[in-house]
Amino acid sequence: MMVMIATALAAAVLYGAGAAVEQRQAAAAPRSSAGRPRLLLLLARQPLWLLGIAVQIGGFAAHAVALRSGSLATVQMLVSGEFVVAVVIVRIWSGRPLGRAAWAAALTVVASVAAFLALTSSGHGHLAGQPPQGAAMALGAIATGGAALAAAAAGLRADGRRRAILLAVAAGLADCCSAVVTMALSHAAGHGVAALATSWSVYAVAVCGAGTVLLTQTAYQTGRPILTLPIIAAVTPVASVAVGIGLLGETPRIGVAGVVAAGLAVLVTSLALARLAYSAPHPDAPSPEVPSPEVPDARVPDAGVPDTRVPDAEVPDAGVHHPKPAYV
């Protein structure tokens, strides 16, 4: 139990730090690269984004250890604390400390996760007996992965707020899918190298990992952290608990009242995460969806105001050329 808690919290810190760095860089990427491998190629040129990826790889290692020794539902609730870390880092970068509401939300997250852990620590299905079957984990990965692809396809065809919401839902579901296949990989690794080499989870981790990174960066790229961060924060733990209990047999033996209380803890955690993420300021980079303001024609005077400016003889009367800013 202590190994699971320690490694899950370590994963939360590393994931949160990496996500804060990645979101800062992805918001400056051009809209035309959304949902395409070109987006990752553009971001790979940014040293800070690469640092964020390296930090998240460390988080993945700690996450795998936690999933090997604990249930998906419990581990994901602990790892959901990554959004607390991410928002705090974004706030530090912006030069604005957390307000009272944000601190209240952060403390609520901690208290709700602790309550969920206390309620469910008496035993989950696979902790008390056998590990979850590979078929169940594969089904969980297919369900969450398919739902993420559907939401991403709809989001890429949408605009504005609807685009940001759908892409954030896709990123949250993809994060859950990645946790499921990571859990399958960690259990396969316990049976030796030969079993690991022939396990479907090895290939699923590679595909799901790349897809999760792409979807997450595409959601960040919308430049609407007030929408994307809260949705990702809320979707990931709820989907993980649903898969753990519904498909992996992680039903806690705590009675009806305990189940209701645990479900309430999950709901409160998701709402508090959403409120905390909502408090995150906009990134410094300008949103690619907002066009640059037009510079008024220097030749047209305001109505009722005498024009005392001297016309530039070298500029043709057809108008003034405004070069478009280039993406760096």
pLDDT means over runs of 10, the chain (328 residues):
89 88 71 70 82 89 88 87 82 76 86 85 50 80 94 91 90 92 86 78 88 83 74 85 84 73 86 75 45 46 49 45 40
DSSP secondary structure string, 293-312? PPPPPTTSPPTTS---PPPP
Task: Quote the pLDDT of residue 281.
Answer: 57
Handedness of CA 112, 114, 115, 121 (dihedral sign): positive
Task: Quote the pLDDT of residue 132.
Answer: 60
Task: Quote the pLDDT of residue 147.
Answer: 95
Task: Quote the pLDDT of residue 288.
Answer: 43
Cβ contacts of residue 194 below 8 Å, gap of 6+?
none
Task: Quote the pLDDT of residue 44.
Answer: 78
DSSP helix/strand/coil, 280: coil
- Cβ 67 vs Cβ 137: under 8 Å: no
Pairwise CA distance, residues 18 & 39, whole Å? 17
